[in-house]
Structure 1
């Protein structure tokens, strides 16, 4: 009799533990958790990639050795306004997000305290100015499948001295809307080639993929409407991937 009672108790305990385990994993019982974290934000913008391979302006977070550990988009830290040229030490609240939401970041961030703010300026070594004609370019795969293509910006110096390929938002002070806007009257997109005076400064490490320079808009000189985007067909898969 005692043996049966012991076995019954063991079965009840096992059932209870299993139920608890299931409850912990039950998406309906998820609750956000908040922890604090300390980060150092570097004084110059970098760029981060999105799911659609589009570059977005971002703030660079580094560890104690200066190694890049993360990138925050400019509006990602709630309550914090970034000023380029300053190095910040921040205390953040990091809150987990609902795992049931698809394509959602794992955490949201809010400023708890600015621990320090030191002006160090931006890099000027090797900086030069150039006037470029810049427009959107559609890069297609060697088999010319436009659905598999992607857009980037191509800038050509008007004196022929240099050419640069850039992400759609990679000119600091400008954005992709300078090159393509929606016309409410025609219900179509208008595409533009922009003549821009730019400053180009080498960076000490890549700020976006293999790009070792920062480009800033100094002045928009003119804007010319184009019939459509320029299209480039990659000759090899390697060429296609090199700009992606």
Structure 2
């Protein structure tokens, strides 16, 4: 399921120019919008199995997000932020995957901030994943959540040369019209798909072969400059 978040969704693409779009993105990434996004996901989780318009989900659930979506799933996974309330995560959520995670803003004790993320968590980023020109984050910052999470099924994969938009999927028609671009698949796409699929299989399906492959097989398909760590 892909959840739309009013106020920080594709309505931002109506701002007329790339510069205006960057300003709109920056304005939308605030604590109030983050709280609304987290509530959107909690609402969906609460309704699964009870609302006939939604799937009757009984199997374990995985959460994933990119960029501000990654921050959203970090919050649901247990990141502690001074401006956000702490709400227990639905017990059906067994694993979390974040594309372009981050530790921007809100507090300096990162061990305290990320120390409650106990469930399996996969951080995927790139060596050039420094945002969309907002000038408020570095690629190195995106590794910090992993570095400060407690051990236990935590993974970090940094693709050499990977940029922020490499993790955003195909460009939408609205993006193509504004920027006159079509995003080509990144050179590491197959490795990204293999790694994320193995993570879901290992921690949602309790697949021991997938778990073993994450430990010993994944490094063998990466390029020399890619970096992989787990704890």
TM-score of the pair, normalised by structure 2: 0.22
Task: Compare the two structures and name the one with the higher helix fraction.
Answer: 2
Structure with greater Cα Rg: 1
Task: Compare the two structures and name the one with the higher strand fraction.
Answer: 1
TM-score of the pair, normalised by structure 1: 0.22
